[in-house]
Structure 1
Amino acid sequence: MRAIASIVFGSALFLCFSFVATAQTSEASASLPATTPSEVSFKFDRVGLPVPHFTLRIHEDGTGTYQADQAEIPATPTSMRGQAAQHVDRPINLASGTVAKIFKEVRELNDFNVECASKAKNIADTGTKTLTYSGSDGSGSCVYNYSENKTVQSLTDIFLGIASTLDEGRKLEFLHRYDRLGLDAEINSFADEVKEGRAIELGTISPTLAAVADDTAVIQRVRLKAAKMLELAAEGSSH
């Protein structure tokens, strides 16, 4: 009986220690700080433009958001329809190569803990730009109209190129719905922007391009250009 009692007592003691150890482990895990996802944002403000304000937020996994205030679009002779001012808020996904380049350049700039703005005088107003980084490894922000720093210039071009494509996507959607004849000139202009590298990340507007490419009511050369851009997006050649 003593042997049995000892076994029972020992088992109970073991279970007790196991419970305490598990509880301590759970408490320790709960007390660990949550890892903050790394995020880079680019904010642009310039009154008088078709899109006077926008913000792009990008995470290191390629997901992000695009928020913009689009000014009113007046009616055209061919569409006879304008578009009211609107706020845009949509999710985006970027190609891995673009994301890697963004975060590499952010770290080269010490998470934006640097002087971005040029000290030169009489520089034309190209819009107020704000670069911001936040993550578990630090944070930083800098504001500028123009920067002489080549890495800041590179990041600016990337973000403006993404925004240009997203803006173009909205134009193509509008024209596809209300002014199909206007698509011809618009997609030609867009193709030039893509060729010159001023519009990148075509994958962000793939559904719009696909809708144009698949619409037999749209003239053939427009459909072919839209299809070509879809191919570039799939190949990752839009950036």
Structure 2
Amino acid sequence: MTQTAHRLNDKVALVTGGAKGIGAAVVRRLADEGAKVYFTFHTSGAGEAAPKGRVFGFPCDVRKKNDVEAFVGRVLERESRVDVLVNNAGIIRDGLFLALSEEDWEDVWATNLMGTVYFTRAVLRPMILQRGGRIINLSSIVGELGGVGQANYAASKGAVNALTKSLAAEVASKNILVNAVSPGMVNTAMSGAARAAFGEKIKERIPVGSFAEPEEIAEVVAFLASEEARYITGQIITVDGGISLLSRR
């Protein structure tokens, strides 16, 4: 997939968890495509991020419905519309099943699933009124395949996949397309511990022989946000270098 400049001219996009990793790459790519991008970050005590061109960052705890509604309301006051929502914010709290605490489960589900639910609910009515929009959820291949030591994370991403398909069927007639991007191993801080411990072993199992860069995931997100993807909805787009093919054998 090659870059096509300004496919998102005059569009307004929201990206959750846009300060680093995949989220930051998505913010940059959507802005490069011509969108005005608002992103959330969750850093204790952080103030409003300085705007850079067409990019604006504001603090928001995606686990809190009131925070989410206030964030979306702030954007709507400025722009009167939301064309693209990218539900990217996510966390991990890894551990073997019996070692996972209730807090480990609650934190992961509150961020990964309920954050997605809250933001989707907040933008859905405006999208219906404007007769169109794109919702793109960041999932993970463990949402389909599972992962040792990641029962809570895998379950949350499996739920995101189910939400994606269910909502896509519900709102397709409103010209709102809902898809998910499901990465494998990506060079981000979140995957740093796994890459440090098992990096070479994991890489050997990936048919293309390398980890993904955040920008490669962002390319797929930008495509799904564009008019080129106008006939795609309810899909879980796997971007994993082929590793899930081997896992299904």
TM-score normalized with structure 1 length: 0.28
Higher relative contact order (CA 8 A, sep 6+): 2
TM-score normalized with structure 2 length: 0.28
Give the greater-gyration-radius structure (CA): 1
